[in-house]
Amino acid sequence: MKIQEIGDHAPASDGRERRWMIAAVSLAVALVLPYLDMLFGLNLGLKLIPIGIFIILALGLNVVVGFAGLLDLGYAAFFAIGAYTAAFLTSPSSVLLQALGAKPIDFWPAMLLSTLVAALFGVVLGAPTLRLRGDYLAIVTLGFGEIVPLVIRNTPQWTRGVQGMNPIGTPSLGVYKFGFDFQAWYYLIIAVIIVSVVLTARLRDSRIGRAWAAIREDEVAAASMGVNPVSTKLFAFAMGASFSGFAGSIWAGYLQFIDPGQFDFSISVFVIVMIILGGMGNIYGVIAGGIILGGFDRILSGSVTDVLRGVGNLVGLEALQQADVSRARSLILGLALVILMLVRPEGLFPSARRRAELHAAEESAEEADQQRSTLYETQR
């Protein structure tokens, strides 16, 4: 009996050790990447910050979409709420601070307040809408995602409208101020990603994480077993929104300028594609999807454009000479999604549970074929 138990648990233990090793190697590479960038002259510095921000966004949305199974198409709205909250609290030009007669506060408490405000708006959106399911919930969140930038754009007396807000407060550690120091921002984002991974992993393995999984798989069955669907989904919405607000405050502090054009619908789509590509519900898969898509969008698209234009100059083809891969971003994302759904619908690095859910029908069909074959052989 003991031998059998050890044999049953050995593969799981080996898989856990392998994941820890991959995570450790990935973290080591991430920590030395800025120095490798300077050593080899890769010029990746300013391109890595947005990729890290989008990974934080993807980890937050994975709680909503991957863990709880709720399709949120308005995730960029919470990103905007977090960014503008940080701007309102830290910018010397903030109309809110001027009206209250207060001075700008430090970046760190502003970042925490941005997280709380975004979570509050997640509750405000979720409370009346989470009784909806499927496409209806997606439509409501899409509407919220469109409303927030419109409100920002049409209230210039508070948000300065399309002119945007600047400057915005930056973090500091003692006497050292981040300013536009790439390495300081980079390591801050790496620290936030590590905290996000630990937090989401703990949530996934907790009682609330099991409740999310139950609701995702069968909400009616989960409710019949005592799970409160509304409060459970509401907590998922609030957690996802808080991650987005957290990322928004860092984004605002890093850019020192925000306007409503930075938070359009394409942000939500881009983050969702990251999750689908990497594998919904798998934390490390989501990070991998973020690196792949973010790397293509921020790094490879420019290199591919240069190659296409070089080929166009060689062959004298005007269409290639004027090629710009970044303009075809939506087309590329759409094609990637279609191909992925046909070839590997569970994503590149799916969680074991997600893989089992999507391939349950195929496995049942295979088992039925095997049973029929066995019965046929027996009758012969």
Q: What integer pLDDT is reported at residue 365 of this predicted model? A: 52
Q: What integer pLDDT is reported at residue 9 of this predicted model? A: 42
- Distance of alpha carbon 263 from alpha carbon 260, whole angstroms: 6
The amino acid at 62? N
Phi and psi dihedrals of 70, rounded to 5?
Answer: -105, 125
Instruction: Locate 256 and state its tokens.
Output: 């020192």
Instruction: Locate 29 and state its tokens.
Output: 């590479």
Q: What is the DSSP string of 243-277?
A: HHHHHHHHHHHHHS-B-GGGGSHHHHHHHHHHHHH
Q: Residue 167: is the preceding peptide bond cis (ω within 30°)?
A: yes
- Distance of alpha carbon 154 from alpha carbon 143, whole angstroms: 16
Contact 77, 147 (CB under 8 A): yes
Q: What integer pLDDT is reported at residue 188 of this predicted model? A: 93
User: In the beta sheet, which residues pair with residue 176?
Assistant: 173
pLDDT digits (tens), the chain, 380 positions: 443 433 444 455 566 788 788 888 888 999 999 888 888 887 887 889 999 999 999 999 999 999 998 989 999 999 999 999 999 999 998 998 988 888 999 999 999 999 999 999 999 988 888 778 778 888 999 999 999 999 999 999 999 999 999 899 999 888 888 888 889 999 999 999 999 999 999 999 899 999 999 998 888 889 888 889 889 999 999 999 999 999 999 999 999 999 999 998 989 999 999 999 998 889 999 999 999 999 988 888 888 888 888 888 888 888 888 888 888 878 888 888 888 888 888 888 887 766 666 666 555 555 655 655 665 555 55
HEC assignment per residue over 106-165? CHHHHHHHHHHHHHHHHHHHHHHHCCCCHHHHHHHHHHHHHHHHHHHHCCHHHHCHHHCE
Q: What is the pTM of this model?
A: 0.88
Instruction: Locate 2 and state its tokens.
Output: 């003991």
- Distance of alpha carbon 31 from alpha carbon 35, whole angstroms: 9
Task: Return the CATH fold of 47-349.
Answer: ABC transporter involved in vitamin B12 uptake, BtuC (1.10.3470)
CA 67-209-338 angle, 5° bins: 10
Q: What integer pLDDT is reported at residue 107 of this predicted model? A: 93
- Distance of alpha carbon 23 from alpha carbon 220, whole angstroms: 37
Q: What integer pLDDT is reported at residue 61 of this predicted model? A: 95
Q: How many CB atoms lie within 10 A of CB 127?
A: 14
The torsion defined by the Cα of 367, 368, 372 and 374, in degrees rounded to 10, comes to 20
- Could you state, in order of their start, the residue ranges of all structural domains in the chain? 1-32, 47-349
Instruction: Locate 161 and state its tokens.
Output: 């409208």
Residue 197 to residues 20, 118, 194, 202, 353, Cα–Cα distance (Å): 13, 19, 5, 9, 19
The torsion defined by the Cα of 193, 195, 196 and 199, in degrees rounded to 10, comes to 160
67's CB contacts (< 8 A; 6+ apart) are 200, 203, 204, 209, 212, 213, 216, 236, 281
R_g of the chain, CA atoms, integer Å:
24
Instruction: Locate 78 and state its tokens.
Output: 């919470």
CA distance from start to end of the chain:
38
Q: Look at the alpha carbons of 183, 187, 192, 193 in this order and tell me if their dihedral is positive or negative.
A: positive
Q: What is the DSSP string of 207-236?
A: HHHHHHHHHHH-HHHHHHTT--HHHHHHHH
Give residue for tokens 């941005």.
114
The torsion defined by the Cα of 356, 357, 361 and 362, in degrees rounded to 10, comes to -40
- Distance of alpha carbon 255 from alpha carbon 272, whole angstroms: 23
Q: What integer pLDDT is reported at residue 1 of this predicted model? A: 40
Helix axes 45-62, 75-90, angle to 10 degrees: 120
